[in-house]
Amino acid sequence: MEETYLLNLPGVKKKILAGGTGPLPHFPPGTKLVFHFQTLLDNFERTVIDDSRLAKRPAEIFVGKMFKMEVWETLLTSMRVGEVAEFWCDAVVGDPMSYQRESWMMEKDEKMQTVPILHMQGNALVKQRQFREAASKYKEAVLLLKTVQSREMPGDIDYINLGRMIIPLELNYCQCMLELEEYYEVIEHTTELLEKHKDCVKGYYKRAKAHAAVWNEKEARKDFNMVANLDITLACLVRRELNALSERMKEKYWEEKEKYWNMLEKKEEMVKEDDNEEEERKDMEIKEGKTEKSASPADSQPQPVHAGRSTIRTSGGAQQQAA
């Protein structure tokens, strides 16, 4: 059985050599695909350049997990279980430096050269107030440095120098997060930074700002005071920040107090309404009771009956009168 058709992808052609079984399966992200393959040159000899059977076990990929040859996922998800197919894929050859290489593809020197470029790109994005994009650049640079640092011996001069290079990038990242109001992200990153660099004044300052923004007054005051202790020239700045923090906490106190009183007033109004309804219900019951009571004695007493000028009374002894 042979059938040739183009896939919905430019430069790819498929020929079915043996049909599979059942309908085309559904391939949600995370689906494991197990298969054998041969890679052949499109020449007269059909030269085999790769064969999974030589490894004595099938190849495996997972759908949606960013396999480096993305076309594989397209090819395999077009096949049924047990199907044998042949694919032609156009080769695309480009300049090896014309695309952005991922960190795992870079050598140490290449990573070190990329870091200042990312730093400059981040700074340019900050000037354009594109804080999220800038944060991504700083974070990428930090990850590159940490990858290089992980291959160094802790305590060695290279390890220490790499750690110092990370500090300004981390601080820039945290500043972007402050601008984006991602305060808990700032607290997490500055805390990690300060565990390794306990004299980082800017780290304490940014963490203090983040704590103040989420109403952690005690932690904010502690960090602001650390800033003043580490750099006496910033004492005036710290004093202003502490005064501003006090004002914000007062405002928050009165806002919460006002909310509390509003809630209390609403609750009292609801209780009063319930009491009024209860009183109205009791009044209705009392009125209904009086009406029934006033009606019952009249029903029990005998009433005189008048017929012409004769009067007949039924109480006491029988008595008749006639004119």
Per-residue pLDDT, 319 = 44
Which neighbouring-strand residues pair with 41?
Answer: none
- Residue 50 CB: number of other CB atoms within 10 A? 11
Amino acid at 202: K
Number of residues in the chain: 323
- State the Cα–Cα distance between residues 299 and 290, nearest whole angstrom: 15
- State the Cα–Cα distance between residues 202 and 171, nearest whole angstrom: 7
Per-residue pLDDT, 44 = 77
Under-70 pLDDT residues of the chain: 1-6, 8, 65-69, 92-105, 287-323
Whole-model pTM: value is 0.54
Residue given tokens 């009606």 in the structure block: 295
Dihedral angle computed from the Cα positions of residues 253, 256, 258 and 264, in that order, rounded to the nearest 10 degrees: -130
C-beta separation of 156 from 139 below 8 A: no
Per-residue pLDDT, 210 = 96
C-beta separation of 224 from 242 below 8 A: yes
Residue given tokens 């750690």 in the structure block: 163
Per-residue pLDDT, 304 = 53
- State the Cα–Cα distance between residues 146 and 156, nearest whole angstrom: 15
Domains and CATH numbers, the chain: 3-89 (3.10.50.40), 109-232 (1.25.40.10)
How do residues 216-270 score in pLDDT, each as one tens digit? 999 999 999 999 999 999 999 999 999 999 998 888 777 777 777 778 777 777 7
Per-residue pLDDT, 145 = 94
Per-residue pLDDT, 46 = 83
DSSP for residue 15: E
* Residue of 162, 138, 142 whose CA lies nearest to 151: 162
Using DSSP, state whether 50 is helix, strand or coil: strand
* Residue of 170, 233, 243 whose CA lies nearest to 212: 243
C-beta separation of 143 from 170 below 8 A: no
CA 216, 217, 221, 227 dihedral sign is positive
